[in-house]
Amino acid sequence: MSALLPTTLTVSSGAIGLLGPNGAGKSTLIRLVLGLLTPTSGTVGLLGAHPAPPTLLDRVGYMPEHDCLPGTVSAVSLVSFFGRLSGLSAGSALERTHDILDYVGMGEDRYRKIAEYSTGMKQKVKMAQALVHDPDIVFFDEPTNGLDPEGRREMLDLLCDVSQAGKSIVLSTHLLPDVEHVCSDVVIMGGGRVLLYDRLEAALGTRHTVVRIRGDALSFADSLRGRGLAATVHRGDIFVEGEDVSAQVFDTAYRTGVQLRYLSPHTMSLEDLFLRVVGDGGG
Amino acid sequence: MAVGKAVRRYEPWTGERTRMGTRLRFFISRGFIEALRSRWALFILFVTYGLLIVPRLFEALATSDPFDPQLYGPLLTDVHLFVLILAAVAGSSLFASDIQDRTIVLYRVRRMGAPYYLVGRLASLAAVLGAVSVAPIAILSSVAILSAAPSLSLVVDQGRIVLFALGLGCGVAVFFALFAGAISVLLRERRYAAPAIVFAVLFSEIASSILSALSTSSLASLVSVWGNFSLVGAYLFGTDLSAGPAPWQAAGALSAVALACAALMARELVYREDLP
């Protein structure tokens, strides 16, 4: 059984939101890119290299979703340790550790054992270990999980700042507002395949007309498509691409004897886009 | 007056990355230091040196033959129990902690990857075990050679005894590091791994005794870990070999177990993909 179906996806640098329902394949995709899984076929490239050599991992950071911190050491000790393992010398690892812990907002708590930390503090330490070696691309897997609204806002602001500092980030989440806040591009996955990859602005910018009818929405959408319109059905609503399609919709309804109940222009939210794409993709 | 929140900006790091060898050395030395932070490990070291090594230092000071196998052979036999307990104390959490805490993913996504992680962890444990199996030989031989001041021809002629003793000490450390590491990986919980390491070796001794009593074949004693090390030691030091398996059979049995442990760890840590 394949967790990810054959797909070709080339993403550019920037802040990319990786969206999808549970089991869509988001974590599998990240694990493949990081080399934690071996693809059964095809190749996975990273930072322009196909396949990515292990040396490239010095330029990659990863903040896992799950708890992964030993409770017996302090944040300073842990982050500087992973800094050293990522190639920083003893002196610069300690200096960089304090810089990055300041950056993520860890105060004097950095000297306490991690077992005593709150969820928010643990998330900060996980972020610090992902950034300590100054990677070019960082994978964040559900970074706002378990955070209170203030902590979440702080985390999202940090992600924006990392992205603005010229780092590529991949944000895997099921929280759509997080992607809207941080990302310039969006990848939507469902059922183990990539359903959409586009600039967020462009994906949301497409104007639609929502049509509701009395009768079979699917066959009416087929009729619209027969006239060259891009029409999809989601939860009984027919979404027709474009704003000035009213005349064609009316005409189609007249010809097919369908009663129109609602017709209105519609600007899509990321939630609308997600539900539509995942619904169409069978996710 | 409201105080504004300080604006934090990401600062890139500019520096040259160290080589993989440097990172591996750091990883091994950190593992060694952390293992010695355990009060149980320190206690075992203290007891080993207090009970076994310091008394033998006086023997070494008084010896006229620094290459007498009797100076090293019995010591290597006596430290077996301490090596085993130290392997249980320091080795039980070798991989189990990282798997339990799921910290292992942070190693695997770095350039060092799983193979370096495996080698580094094993080397740090072997170094800790070497503190009771190799270091005492080095100390004793140094003291004995310095106090007896042998002629150069004697050093050239008999010096290999010390090298054999050091080699056997290394073998003991590496074997028990592999053995403890494999059980740590297999059980994934320190509280189970520590007693399992001790019981597995003790069980091999008991099983060997029972099999030897039941069977006429001398190969039954190959089940004993310590028995095999004693056989190899007796061969290296040229002492009398009792009727039993050949030394190469004992070395083969130990090598087979060590290889099986290494293969198990490689399968679980390097090739297994469903780790957290």
> Which residues in chain B are contacts of A30 at CB distance < 8 A?
none
Is B55 within 8 Å of chain A by CB? no
Lowest-pLDDT range, A61-65, A268-272, B91-95, B206-210? Answer: A268-272
The answer to the question of residue A6 being in a domain is yes
The residue from A200, A215, A231 where one domain ends is A200
The answer to the question of residue A277 being in a domain is no
Distance from CA of A23 to the nearest CA of B (A): 15
**Helix ranges restricted to H, B37-151:** 39-48, 54-62, 69-78, 80-91, 96-101, 104-108, 113-133, 135-148
**Strand spans (E) along chain A:** 15-19, 60-63, 137-141, 168-173, 185-190, 193-199, 208-214, 231-234, 237-241, 259-266
Residues of chain B numbered 12-51 and touching chain A (CB < 8 Å): 12-13, 15, 17-18, 23, 26-27, 30
What residue in B sits closest to A138 (Cα-Cα)? Answer: B109
The answer to the question of residue A73 being in a domain is yes
**CA-to-CA separations, A237 to A213, A240, A248, A264, in angstroms, rounded:** 8, 10, 17, 11
**What's the gap between Cα A264 and its chain centre?**
30
Is A90 found in the same domain as A214?
no
The CA distance from A159 to A156, in Å, is 5
- Rounded to two decimals, the pTM is 0.85
Is A183 found in the same domain as A216?
no
Is A255 found in the same domain as A138?
no
Residue B248 is encoded by which pair of tokens? Answer: 């190469």
pLDDT digits (tens, 9 = 90+) for A47-99: 877 777 888 899 999 999 999 999 999 999 999 999 999 999 999 999 999 99
Is A73 within 8 Å of chain B by CB? no
The answer to the question of residue A68 being in a domain is yes
Which carries the bigger pLDDT value, residue B178 or residue A269?
B178
What residue in A sits closest to B20 (Cα-Cα)? Answer: A87
CA angle B130, B135, B139 (to 5 degrees): 170
Is A232 found in the same domain as A102?
no
Phi, psi of B92 (to 5 degrees): -65, -30
Three-state DSSP at A48 gives: coil
What is residue A87's predicted lDDT score, i.e. its pLDDT? 95
Residue B131 is encoded by which pair of tokens? Answer: 């503190």
The answer to the question of residue A275 being in a domain is no
> Which residues in chain A are contacts of B27 at CB distance < 8 A?
85
> CB A86 to CB B111 under 8 A?
yes
Region of residue A146 (phi > 0: left; psi between -120 and 50: alpha; otherwise: beta) = left
> Which residues in chain B are contacts of A133 at CB distance < 8 A?
13, 17
CA atoms lying within 13 Å on the CB side of residue A197:
12
Distance from CA of A190 to the nearest CA of B (A): 21
Strands A231-234 and A185-190, by their bridges, are unpaired
User: Cβ(A142)–Cβ(A127) under 8 Å?
Assistant: no
pLDDT digits (tens, 9 = 90+) for B49-85: 998 888 888 888 887 788 888 888 888 888 999 999 9
Q: Which of B128, B124, B83, B122 is nearest to B265 (CA)?
A: B122
> Which residues in chain B are contacts of A81 at CB distance < 8 A?
30
Residue A74 one-letter amino acid? S
| HEC letters along B126-145 | HHHHHHHHCHHHHHHHHHHH
CATH number, domain containing residue A252: 3.30.70.2470
Is A169 found in the same domain as A79?
yes
Residue A256 is encoded by which pair of tokens? Answer: 């097919």
The residue from A200, A227, A255 where one domain ends is A200
The answer to the question of residue A279 being in a domain is no
Is A145 found in the same domain as A14?
yes
pLDDT digits (tens, 9 = 90+) for B216-234: 777 788 899 998 998 998 8
The shortest CB-CB distance from A60 to any of B8, B107, B109 is to B109
Give the mutation candidate from A36, A137, A161 for the B interface (greatest B CB count, under 10 A). A36
Count of CB pairs separated by less than 8 Å, A with B: 98
Which residues in B91-117 are b (16+ Cβ under 10 Å) and which e?
Answer: bbbbbbbbbebbbbbbbbbbbbbbebb
The CA distance from B1 to B240, in Å, is 90
My answer on whether omega of the bond before A51 falls inside 30° of 0, hence cis, is yes
Is A211 found in the same domain as A179?
no
Residue A55 is encoded by which pair of tokens? Answer: 């040396």
**CA-to-CA separations, A56 to A153, A266, B9, B83, B112, in angstroms, rounded:** 31, 44, 25, 40, 11
The answer to the question of residue A183 being in a domain is yes
Residue B106 is encoded by which pair of tokens? Answer: 């942070």
What's the first-to-final CA gap in chain A, in angstroms?
17
What residue in B sits closest to A92 (Cα-Cα)? Answer: B15
Is A57 within 8 Å of chain B by CB? yes
What is residue A96's predicted lDDT score, i.e. its pLDDT? 96
What is residue A24's predicted lDDT score, i.e. its pLDDT? 84
- Average of per-residue pLDDT across B178-197: 93
Is A235 found in the same domain as A129?
no
Is A227 found in the same domain as A185?
no
Assign A283 a pLDDT band (cuts: 50, 70, 90).
very low
Q: How many domains does chain A have?
A: 2
Three-state DSSP at A251 gives: helix
| Cβ atoms < 10 Å from Cβ of A107 | 9
Distance from CA of B177 to the nearest CA of A (A): 22
pLDDT digits (tens, 9 = 90+) for B88-115: 999 998 999 999 999 999 999 999 999 9
The residue from A156, A177, A200 where one domain ends is A200
Domain hosting residue A259, numbered range: 207-267
Is B5 within 8 Å of chain A by CB? no
Is A114 found in the same domain as A147?
yes
pLDDT digits (tens, 9 = 90+) for B37-57: 889 999 999 999 998 888 888
Residues 6+ apart with CB under 8 A from A282: A190, A191
Strands A259-266 and A208-214, by their bridges, are antiparallel
Distance from CA of A174 to the nearest CA of B (A): 20
The CA distance from A99 to B10, in Å, is 9
Lowest-pLDDT range, A90-94, A236-240, B22-26? Answer: A236-240
The answer to the question of residue A19 being in a domain is yes
Supply the ipTM of this predicted assembly: 0.88
Is A137 found in the same domain as A260?
no
The CA distance from B246 to B218, in Å, is 9
Instruction: Show contacts of B4-11: CB within 8 Å, 24+ apart.
Output: B8/A102, B8/A103, B8/A105, B8/A158, B8/A161, B9/A161, B9/A165, B10/A103, B10/A131, B10/A161, B10/A162, B10/A164, B10/A165, B10/A167, B11/A99, B11/A103
> CB B26 to CB A84 under 8 A?
yes
> Which residues in chain A are contacts of B103 at CB distance < 8 A?
68-70
> CB B111 to CB A165 under 8 A?
no
Is A225 found in the same domain as A177?
no
CATH number, domain containing residue A80: 3.40.50.300
